[in-house]
Each structure stands twice: as structure tokens, then as C-alpha cells.
Amino acid sequence: MNEHLREAVNGARFPHPRYVEAVRSAAALITFSGEGSVVAMVGPPRAGKSTAGRAAAREVYPHSNPDSIPYVVVDCSRTDAGYMSMRYLTLDLLAQLGHPFYGDLEHSLRLKLTETNARLQLRRAIEYRRTKLLIIDEAHHLLRVKDRSGREAALESLKCLGNETGALIFLIGGYELLRECFCSAHMNGRLSILHFPRYGTSTSDAGCFDRILASYDVLLPWAKGHSLLEMRDLLYEGSLGSCGLVGNWILLALARMTSLRSQRLRMEHFESARYKQQLAEIAEDISFGESALQPIEKNHIGALEIAPITDISGRKIVRRPGKRLPKRDPVGNAERQR
């Protein structure tokens, strides 16, 4: 029975507005972004970002012929001595592209090649497979480097890979990814942000969140008088409005129920499975992300401090709207050209 419960909760998929909108927006950006662009899908933990990104890729590229691989997905998880390794990420991309030298881990000698050589092979593989989309999941791990310059180098390396091959780089990760993406003017020039937000406290959001709880409720062995909807305020506060965290919390509560040899699920199993410090860390990350993703509004554009255009002498150039920029004088003898 316990195995059945675990599979039922893990396998539960409830299409909801946040997810549907994320898939639609991701598919649109994949379709219309220019070659070599970078898209970053960010949001709270376990919101469904990875699932949405893959679903969007399948929607845009539903078919492929045997020789082409229109998109690949890799997790940015393998590390070198605890730090993120761009070399390992390159090798993982080569394996996903079916490179004959890197697709089989038994070829250990190939794994000893330098990052530079592996990168060259990756560029050739992307061109040969006609790959248009590289999805890097858990992309916030790109920031797990020894120093700040390494963070910039990792993101710049991916941006340059897109520029060299024309492939769209699609990053999926937590809000902390924004801390580095927003710090580079060159990255921002080709960066699009896709926000997969949590559910808020508005009436419409509360209704959607409650429907998710009701969908989970029918799967669980509740004691009389207990249900997710009965403790919805606790569930919202403990999940911070992220439906993915609700699913994870349910599994922890089931584990707590089993360890106490109970047959029915109760509120106390949920209360003892979550800690305040866990919520504090997640809440801080969400607070940063939501504050960083304030959209541009007309009345706020003037608040941006942009240096005025000046001439050689340093005088500010004032140009009326619609007036064209001056052209360079023709090269050669001015008297002859009259």
C-alpha cells in the first residue's frame, strides 16, 4: 500500500494555470527568439519548471528525422571536486547529441580530453545534428564555482556557444540565477526572462491552489475530519504557494505517518515534517526573485539613470524627435564634389 501511495503522489500531474501559461510562454520564446539568444525560466523550487520546459520543447519540435536532433536537455549537476564543471557539461551535451566518441562512457580515454577539444567537438555536433535548442536544467548550479569571475565565465561560455552555433540557450533554474544574469550588460542584451511564479493570495490564485489541494486529497488515506483543504492555510504557508512543494510535503507526511505506524494521515504528520528554517531560506529566495522581476512601467522609465549623449567637447547633444542623425561628409576633394 505504501508503495502505491508513493507512486500515486509522485505520478500525480494536475494541469493548472501557472503551468499551462509557462508552457505556452516557453514555446513562444523558443519559436520567436533570434539565433544565439538566451532564455531563462526561473521560479520557486519544485514549481514544475523542468516539466514545463520539456513540454514546450516537444510542442515546438514534435518530430525529427533520424539524422537531426532539434533539441537536447541536460542537467547541470555533475561537478569537479564539488564545483560546477563546464567540461562535464560539454561532455554531457555531446552524449545527448549522440556523438560516437562521447555517447558511451566506456570510452574513458575520450573523457580525458581537454575542455577546449570537447568544446570544438560540441560545436561540430550541434551543426551536424542541426540542433536549434539547448536546454540546461538546474542552471543555477552554474553559479557553484570558486569565485565570481568563474560565474561570469560559465554564463559567457554558454552565450558564446549559442552565438557560434545559432542555437537557443534555454536555462531553467531558481531565482538565484538572476543574480548573475542581470549583472552582465552583454547577457541582458540577448536575454529573455520567463517567470514561473508561485500562487499568490488573490481570490483567483487561492481558488486554483485549493483545486490542487482537492486533487491531491482524493489520493490520500485521511483520518476522519482531516484533509488538505481543512488545513489549507497551513499548506499555503508551508509551501509558500508552490504546488510542487505541496507534493513533496505530502510525501514527507506519509513517511512520518508510516514511521509512527499510523494507518491514517493527520495534520500533525504535516506539522512535524516541515521546519521554519527551511521556509526561511525558500522565502528569502522567492522574495529576491519577485522583487527583481518587477516589469518596466511607463512612469518608471524616467527613473533609469542613463548618461546623456555628448559631443567631443563634452557638450550634451540635444536632438528633436524625428530628426535624423548627421551623416559623415563624403571622402575626397570637397571642391571637386560640388
| Structural domain boundaries, residue 284 | 200-292
More confident residue, 128 or 333: 128
Percent of the chain with pLDDT over 90: 47
pLDDT digits (tens, 9 = 90+) for 57-83: 999 999 777 778 999 999 987 666 677
Instruction: Count each helix (H run) and each strand (E run) in the chain, helices first.
Output: 14, 7
Does residue 49 register a pLDDT over 50?
A: yes
**Residue at a domain's end among 195, 219, 242:** 195
Most confident of 5-19, 118-132, 302-316: 118-132
Question: What is 245-311 written as a DSSP string?
Answer: HHHHHHHHHHHHHHHTT-SSB-HHHHHTT--HHHHHHHHHHHHHHHHHTPPP-GGGGGGS--PPPB-
Whether residues 55 and 121 share a domain: the answer is: yes
pLDDT digits (tens, 9 = 90+) for 123-175: 999 999 999 999 999 999 888 877 666 777 888 889 899 999 999 999 999 99
Place of cell 549623449: 309
- What band does 338 get if pLDDT is binned at 50, 70 and 90? very low
Q: Is residue 9 part of a domain?
A: no
**Region 5-24 average pLDDT:** 87
Tell me what pLDDT residue 234 has: 93
**Residue at a domain's end among 161, 176, 195:** 195
Mean pLDDT estimate for the chain: 82
Whether residues 212 and 150 share a domain: the answer is: no
Whether residues 173 and 237 share a domain: the answer is: no
Whether residues 76 and 184 share a domain: the answer is: yes
Does residue 311 register a pLDDT over 80?
A: no
The CATH number that applies at residue 47 is: 3.40.50.300
Tell me what pLDDT residue 109 has: 44
pLDDT digits (tens, 9 = 90+) for 242-282: 988 999 999 999 999 999 999 999 999 999 988 888 889 88
Count of structural domains, the chain: 2
- The b/e string for 280-294 (b: 16+ C-beta within 10 A; e otherwise) is eebeebbeebbeeee
For residue 166, give the nearest of 290, 49, 37, 282 by alpha carbon.
37
Q: Is residue 330 part of a domain?
A: no
**Region 289-310 average pLDDT:** 62
Q: Is residue 239 part of a domain?
A: yes
pLDDT digits (tens, 9 = 90+) for 173-184: 999 888 887 776
